[in-house]
Structure 1
Amino acid sequence: MGSDTRYESAIADKNGASTRAQNRPYYTPVGNEEAVFRAAYRQGLSIVLKGPTGCGKTRFVEAMAHDLGRPLITVACHDDLTTADLVGRYLLRGDETVWVDGPLTRAVREGAICYLDEVVEARQDTTVVLHPLADYRRQLPIERLGVTLDAAPGFGLVVSYNPGYQSVLKDLKDSTRQRMVAIEFGFPAPEIEESIVAHEAGVGRETAAALVRFGQAIRRLETGGLREVASTRVLIAAGRLTAEGLSLGEAALAAIAGPLTDDATVGRGLAEMIDVYLDTGTGAGD
């Protein structure tokens, strides 16, 4: 078809982006997570990051890869992710059929850190391929090639998921869990979260503090109408909107309340909370 190169690029873009940051990604530790990660990595142990959406797991991995001087290959897992997407497949190039490595195989060959984001979204028969990599063997069998690759020095396997979001049908297999060191993540303490929002959104500390107070109030709610609680990510998004000239109320409605619920009643309740916590006078019925 004359488009094999473009197709191979599309496979790489879909299934694994390799990055090597020039400057350290901004990350503020909230506990001993950096020390645990470094110790596990030095011992060749695989790592599972557990915590809510938008709490900084991906940024943490980026910062650790930078500190360790390793390239990072990230895979956003999804329902249709197959073993071939991770390991590789044969593609037609002109009159020849050639093998193209998947992101996991590239990481194994190059000694990169492979990060599987939201790993439980992938099918369980796909994640089983991780087992010989995640234990003492540190090997990747490639059945289509009839070879078994030993992980190059520097290779690391990191996966993440949100235990409070996935259903029982989308949980991490016990046989996978017990091959990994777990690092628990939560939302940072208010003063740390304020500094993160201020830095990432480019807003003043007062604006950041107001958004964090509002986010914490949402996290204390007990209602079934919220898809998730307010993450640090949505607070940063609201801050960025205010940096572009929107009022706090407009920014909070668009970046926090809107993404968190489709329920009209809950939405009105969040609008009322915006008036209370951000003192904006937006009006719940506007």
Structure 2
Amino acid sequence: MTSSAPRGTRPYYVSVDDEEQVFKAAYRQNMSIVLKGPTGCGKTRFVEAMAYDLGRPLITVSCHDDLTTADLVGRYLLRGGETEWADGPLTRAVREGAICYLDEVVEARQDTTVVLHPLADYRRQLPIERLGETLDAAPGFGLVVSYNPGYQSVLKDLKDSTRQRMVAIEFGFPSPDVEEKIVASEAGVNTDIASALVRLGQAIRRVETAGLREVASTRVLIASGRLIVEGLSMRTAARVAIAGPLTDDALVAGGLIEMIDAYLPDDNVRQGD
């Protein structure tokens, strides 16, 4: 779990469509929001930027299979020989009027996420059974969840009853010109390097193979750029930051390396050359 307050510089985010307008309109109407899109396309950074713009603290929870309702709501802990109640991140957000962001919410069990229902609709309440009380959400509270539809299955999906309590914002990868600006800014590389990395990413996204569960995200392109800034060649950076994380299949990895060699300059070309 991470928590942050809107201070300092606004997190870098380039608007692609009307997602900022939709998010802020839904937030002002006390509506919960679900962000859908592929891994590494900017969902988390978008939430950080929106929390900054709205002047609200942000509490982020990375969901996983073992996440329980108690992990979200809270539990009794033994401290100094005495039993004390400790709020979970969701309860803290409800009390403080923060935005609570549940990242990859479908990774959590459905019997855990059902606790969101009274918060996600008109009631805006969080029942805490162990305390025997129901909290009304403080002004400013917002509930945002995200997931990658590419991982959907019968076992990993949002319940329909959860979906219909939320406004959905669809995310995809930005257009090449926008993505170049993002990679250049986030990685600190020049325009030529950012452009070459984006062209490679676009090519990988057009590949259809069973051995490639995910395509090259903006995140891995930025990671490549950051390694280039550190002095690694473009091809080496792409091999370890793109080909390596995307697949363990030797045949598919070989194909990706061939694409890297075809789309990126020779190994002696580095940032600043």
Shorter-chain TM-score: what band? Answer: over 0.9
Matched residue, 2:214: 228
Counterpart residue identity of residue 2, structure 2: A
Query: How many residues end up aligned between the 2 structures?
Result: 267
1:120-135 equivalence runs, <5 A: 120-135=106-121
1:141 aligns with 2:127: yes
TM-score by length of structure 1 reads 0.92
Poorly superposed stretches of 4+, deviation over 6 Å = none
> Partner letter of residue 195 of structure 1?
K
Q: Deviations over 1:204-236 (max 9, x none)?
A: 010000000000100000101113100000000
Report the Cα offset of residue 36 of structure 1. 0.2
Whichever residue aligns with residue 93 of structure 1, its letter is: R
Q: Which moved more, 1:181-190 or 1:165-174?
A: 165-174
1:30 corresponds to 2:16: yes
SS of structure 1 residue aligned to 2:144? strand
Unpaired segments of 5 or more residues in structure 1?
A: 1-15
Q: How far is 1:281 from its partner?
A: 6.4
Separation of aligned partners in 2, 1:92 and 1:279: 59
User: How far off is 1:280 after superposition?
Assistant: 2.5
Per the alignment, residue 268 of structure 1 pairs with 254
Aligned-partner Cα distance in 2 for 1:280–1:50: 37
Query: Which residue number corresponds to residue 271 of structure 2?
Result: none
Instruction: Judge conservation of contact 2:233–2:267 (CA < 8 Å) in 1.
Output: no
Helix, strand or coil at the partner of 2:44: helix
The answer to whether 1:48 aligns with 2:37 is: no
Q: Which residue matches 1:5?
A: none
Percentage identity across paired residues of the two chains: 81
Q: Which amino acid is 1:48 matched to?
A: V
RMSD: 1.0
Q: Which residue identity is paired with 2:61?
A: V
Q: Does 1:18 align with 2:3?
A: yes
16-25 vs 239-248, which moves further: 16-25
User: Does structure 1 retain, via aligned residues, the 8 Å contact 2:31–2:121?
Assistant: yes
What SS does the aligned partner of 1:170 have? coil
Secondary structure of 1:48's partner?
Answer: strand
Contact residue 275 and residue 281 of structure 1 kept, 8 A: no
Which residue of structure 2 aligns with residue 195 of structure 1? Answer: 181
1:210 and 2:228 are equivalent in the alignment: no
Out of 14, 25, 30, the position equivalent to 1:39 is: 25
2:225 matched to which residue of 1?
A: 239
1:11-59 CA-to-partner distances (Å, cap 9, x unmatched) read: xxxxx32101421000000000000000000000000000000000000
* Residue type at the aligned position of 1:232: T
